[in-house]
Chain A
């Protein structure tokens, strides 16, 4: 009786156990989506045809990058796993101008392409890349430094503007503006003007009548937050007494070194975002600051969602038309990045110091534009492909250190 019970109980149970132990679990799953990407040529080019092209798909959860160069009839077919993708395109197109075949660099950017299900079709509009041959932003030191007491030290931040051309240029009237929008906070701002202009929250201008501040080819000027020797207060900081200009805000607790010429405050107060959530543009106002202040107001609205309640918000700022912008640099951090706050034709990437908000490793680091080449005369040419991700060295040692 007992033997019968044991057999009836144990044989099937042990078999079940062993079967389970030996079973290979093949249930790991990665759903694939068949993506068809249709490329649209820049509208200003006639009879354009892609000649060289590389599209990078970066899945933002895994960080995995998939690169494809297979384009046929302006279409790319690729299989990708489900996810959210930042899609960037670099390439060259051939087009006709006055009967001649010419080529032009093109770019495209699509952020947050969500792929789910089995199939997806998407259009990607290409734009022409106008590589800078004039002034460019060479360096932004926006993080400040760290004291021996492990406290943040501010006031030692700066911009470096570089003459990337072969001619002497004049910095008079050059404008540096800080974006009003954060790269870490995407909202539906209405009206949406990003394809025509950059919304700005602070604007400063280099004074001068037009020929007061020549900058030789391959040379640069420094615009300091406070143009003093910060090493006297923090030995690991920088000496900015030789800066060409400093940012000074009257009626505030701000340092004014009379030996360093002040920038003009055009709009609001320029305060570097020390975590690098704002972007910066270099521009020239064709009709002066009064025209800018009169005609470029940007009143926008957006919805603020708090605890499930939507609050309509209105704000008044300024915008700088894209056509006035000479150079643009988007800044962000990996953990918080949501979007670039310029049109991709100005800058389709972003650079950084630190990888998270309040990253303690960011202090004493800057973003510096890479060197593309040096001429036989020794003139340095900086890289400017309107993609800060590629053009800049992130987390670099500040040049004035």
Chain B
């Protein structure tokens, strides 16, 4: 009985794989079209999971798997990241030795701006992430940079996300700078290319394989991936940044993992965040 049921599911997977067959545009600098990508991705998930609202994808796997949603909603009633947000607020408001603070480094005093990250910096010719600017703020004011993956940087980021809840993601790819488009394309390519000894792309699990069990885990859909970061993961037992998760995923493909804030990861974040345009910021989040 159980076997037959899983067999039916297996067939669904085969059908789903069919749908992802190649488009013939959008894969080089001449043809890449971020807005078409974003719409195509929404369309893909709409057809995979017709019951789920696009807006709900900020809730990750719980947008498409009713079974685990209930448990998660209970968890969110007493969110495991609450302490981190409080700590983050305190850190955010603690002045540096020179009397300045994080509020001096960001637009609008750093409040309600999470949805604008990452962004393309024309001056520096690179993608800038929120965590990167938190550390730059420190260094520019004579403080030591924080470690990227967890701890204080994740807490500060969590507080900044908290003040931005329900703001709509609006990542821009400036038309007047080809390098921005190139960074987006690079991130897209990173997402879809198979790599590592296990020969896995991000898409293997998070597009085709989303909501299909790998042992007892259900991979989340890529749509809405970034909106809830930083995240408190039960598996970690702590709060972590998006790039901590990227390193972990990269390693899971048995690639030698890149370090957080590597250019490839920032470009990946740029691509993924653009895919979440139109969705709201809801970080920090909690996940299994």
Asked if chains A and B come from one complex, the reply is no
| Residues in A lying within 8 Å of B, measured CB to CB | none
